[in-house]
Amino acid sequence: MRWKFIIPFLVFILIIVVFVTFFLDGIVESIVEERASLFNRAKVEIENLNIGILRPGVRIRGLAMANADNPWRNMVEVGDIEISVSVVPLFSKKVIIDEMVMENVRVNTERKTSGELPRRLRKRLRAKDREEKPAEVPCVKLPNLDVFKKKFSVKELVDINRLESVKRAKQLSEDVSKMKSRWESELKGLDVKAKADEIMTKIQGSLESLQKAEIKGPADLLRLQGDVKNLREATGALEGLREEIEAKKSAFKRQVATLEKSLKEEMKRIQEKDLQAILKDLGLEQLTKVRLAEAVLCPFFGKVLNFIWNNVDKIRTAMPKTGKDEPVQIRIRAKGRDIIFPSIKKGPDFLMREARLSMEQERWSLKGTIKGVTSDPTSYGKPTRIDIQGKRPKLVLNGILDHTGEVPIDTVSLDLRGYQLAGFAFAENPLSLSNITRGFLDLKANLALKGDSIDLKTRTTVKNLVLNFSEEGKENLMVTMVKEAIRKAPSLSIGLAATGTKDNPQLSISSDIDRLLARQLKSFAGKKVKVLKASLGVQIDGASGKEMKGFSDSLSQGKLDILNQFGSDESLVQGKIDLLSGVMASKTGKSKAPKKGKEKGLEGILPGLISR
């Protein structure tokens, strides 16, 4: 053995150990801080990180995750994290965490410095942000009762140019002229005069010979049988033409009548819509169906939904369904070639078997486990399970994140009782609510995310509620009313249901305070709104009435014009029929000309004469 080489070798090993002891921790710490900060969108700081060599694992002390929405507060702070890692899998590029223990977890703590990301990381985040689009949750508005506080002119509220009824009435006059020209072209298409003249020209010879002939008996009639037949056919053709005109005329009358009737109904509907639109602008749409809880909490829950979606997306990206094994590939490398063999999956590349956490804070005393967090759920074959129990407040949180199948299914259920709401700060809201002075919350929530669709149902009961309003809302009548409602009913329940997908979210929030408030609103503003509605109705009617009058005039005129044309055509045809009938009658002794084809005319008389 060559000791003079073994000793330097051992020294070399010692240098590595010293490097690991003094420098590796710092390097890993800064990498973890940077990656986690980007993930969290706010600073993540670690007080101390130790990588254990003899007892393989990582120990983190003083982890603080700043709140991206409020950088002066920490979202989570963890006192100690101990991670035990299996060594052997590391050589196969697999990280298997046997156990992770998180102690002294605290939430929403104060920070001494801002948790905003440094400019360098913000730039990197901005590039990422361009790809992410937050879901937009539609929210309802609250009635604006302040409209009654000052004198206002109803005329000013009605903007004629925005009224749909006026637009429709204007459009109707155009529709009438279009209809008129269509019927005129239909009449032209009939070409009654030309057709009648053609029929008459054909029988001109027969008519003249019949006019000149004297019929004294059946023998004369038999002689003129051909002419009589021609006249009879011509009369039939003219009657057909007259019937055609009558059918068109009836169709026209029907169309006009339907138009008049439906337009009246349509205009009423549009005028009602106009009225509702103006009331909506004023926030006075439906006093009896006011949704106070939704108006106040919708922006907050919108944020919650976005938070769920963004984090579920992140979790699903980190825990995807494994793809199929790669086929054998050959990759050129320097002068040689790398033969890439298929990988046999013997478990996932990352697995955290169990994480235990405990939290002791003024308002929180929780303990729980998270089991089976993995980068490859299909290969692991088990879903991730979350079980957290709390003493203060009483809490049971169960979650199953099942990404083992084709469609990822995440379900979380929460049962929370007696949570102190004091200090809860409201986000921007129409009631100028700043925070909760006192109140206790019971919450039951069930969340199911199957693929892209969400199904969230929560039932919340708030007891002994005392709200704190900001100065801005002092003069707001609605705020006064809500204060009164809360004073009367300090306990209320709120139901929330969220369905749909990220692109099309549906959120509905209902509360028993809504009914109470609706009653108050009705008694306070019911009459006022009724009067306002009536005045607005008159204004809208007046505005669209002018246009409607124009429409009625043009419709009457158009109707008259078309009916006159039908009348003249009818007269023309009737004149010809009368002429022919007169000739026939004079020869057969019948004086009365048939008015309509169905009446007994020549068709009835001639066969009798002939058979005599």
Partner 1 sequence: MIWLKIIGKIFRILNAEATPKQIAGAVTLGMIIGLTPTFSLHNIVVVFLILVIKVNLTAAILSMFAFDLVGYGVDPLSDWFGYTILTSSALRPFWIEAYNAAIIPFTRFNNTIVMGSLIISLILLYPVFYLTKYGVERYRSDLAAKFQHWRIVKAVKMSRLYKYYQTYRSITG
Q: Which is nearer to partner 1, 127 or 344 (CB)?
A: 344
Q: Where are the beta strands (DSSP E) in 403-452?
A: 409-420, 433-450
**Between residues 22 and 91, which has the closer beta carbon with respect to partner 1?**
91
Least Å from the CB of residue 95 to partner 1:
13
Which one of 9, 19, 39, 307 is in contact with partner 1 (CB under 8 A)?
Answer: 9
Angstrom distance (rounded) from CA 231 to CA 584: 8
Cβ nearer to partner 1, comparing 11 with 251: 11
CB of 129 to partner 1, least distance (A): 38
CA dihedral 50, 53, 56, 59 (to 10 degrees): -10
Residue 501's H or E segment, with its range, is strand 492-501
CB of 451 to partner 1, least distance (A): 32
Residue nearer to partner 1 on the CB measure, 88 or 127: 88
Q: Which of residues 418-437 bind partner 1 (CB under 8 A)?
A: none
Residue 430, helix vs strand vs coil: coil
130, 150, 212, 346: which one binds partner 1 (CB under 8 A): 346
Closer Cβ to partner 1, 220 or 338, answer by number? 338
Which of the stretches 4-12, 357-365, 466-474, 553-561 binds partner 1 when contact is defined by CB under 8 A?
4-12
Question: Should residue 2 be labelled a site residue for partner 1 when binding is judged by CB under 8 A?
Answer: yes
Burial of 22 (0-12, 13-18, 19+ CB in 10 A): exposed
Tell me the β-bridge partners of 448.
411, 455
**1 near partner 1, judged by CB under 8 A:** yes
Span between the terminal Cα atoms of the chain, in Å: 153
Of 544-583, binders to partner 1 (CB under 8 A) are none
Query: Hey, how many other C-beta atoms are within 10 angstroms of the C-beta on 413?
Result: 14
Shortest Å, Cβ 3 to partner 1 = 9
Nearer to partner 1, 54 or 334 (CB): 334
Chain-centre distance of CA 29, in angstroms? 45
Residue 54 vs 339, nearer CB to partner 1 = 339
Letter for the amino acid at 309?
A: W
- Rounded Cα–Cα distance for residues 386 and 350 (Å): 18
Measured from the CB of residue 399, what is the shortest distance to partner 1 in angstroms? 33
Q: Give the count of alpha carbons within 13 A of 421, CB side only.
A: 24
**12 touching partner 1, by CB under 8 A:** no
Based on the shown chain and the rule CB under 8 A, indicate whether residue 344 belongs to the binding site for partner 1.
Answer: yes
Q: How far is the CB of 97 from partner 1 (least distance, A)?
A: 17
The least distance separating partner 1 from the CB of residue 401, rounded to whole angstroms, comes to: 28
* Minimum CB distance to partner 1, residue 92 (Å): 4
What's the rounded Cα separation, in Å, for the pair 96 and 380? 12
Nearest distance from C-beta of residue 340 to partner 1, angstroms: 7
What is the nearest approach in angstroms of partner 1 to the Cβ of residue 90?
8
**Identity of the residue, 133 or 333, whose beta carbon is nearer to partner 1 in the bound complex:** 333
In the complex, the smallest distance separating the C-beta of residue 338 from partner 1, rounded to whole angstroms, is: 5
Q: How many CB atoms lie within 10 A of CB 267?
A: 20
The Cα-based distances of 129 to 133, 313, 504 in angstroms read: 8, 14, 20
Contact criterion met (CB below 8 Å) for 375 and 347: no
Q: Which two tokens stand for residue 527?
A: 């009459």
Considering CB under 8 A, how many residues would be counted as binding partner 1? Answer: 22
Q: In 3D, which of 310, 297, 296, 293 has the Cα closest to residue 135? A: 310
How many H-runs (helices) and E-runs (strands) does the chain carry? 14, 15
State which residue, 1 or 54, has the beta carbon closest to partner 1.
Answer: 1
- Distance, CA of 602 to CA of 612 (rounded, Å): 15
Separation of alpha carbons 92 and 494, rounded Å: 52
Of 342 and 381, CB closest to partner 1: 342
Q: Provide the β-strand partners of residue 109.
A: 74
User: Minimum CB separation from partner 1 for residue 56, in Å?
Assistant: 15
| Contact between 22 and partner 1 per CB under 8 A | no
Mark the segment that binds partner 1 (CB under 8 A) among 3-11, 100-108, 241-249, 488-496: 3-11
Pattern of binders to partner 1 over 304-343, x per CB under 8 A?
A: -----------------------------xxxxxxxxxxx
SS3 of 352, please? Answer: strand
Question: Which two three-digit tokens encode residue 352?
Answer: 């955290």
DSSP state of 21: I
> For strand 505-511 and strand 329-333, is the pairing parallel, antiparallel, or unpaired?
unpaired
Site string for partner 1, 83-102 (x = CB under 8 A): -----xx-xx----------
Draw the binding track, 214-253, toward partner 1 (x: CB under 8 A; -: no contact).
----------------------------------------
What's the rounded Cα separation, in Å, for the pair 485 and 338? 75
Chain residues in the site for partner 1 (CB under 8 A): 1-2, 5-6, 9, 88-89, 91-92, 333-344, 346
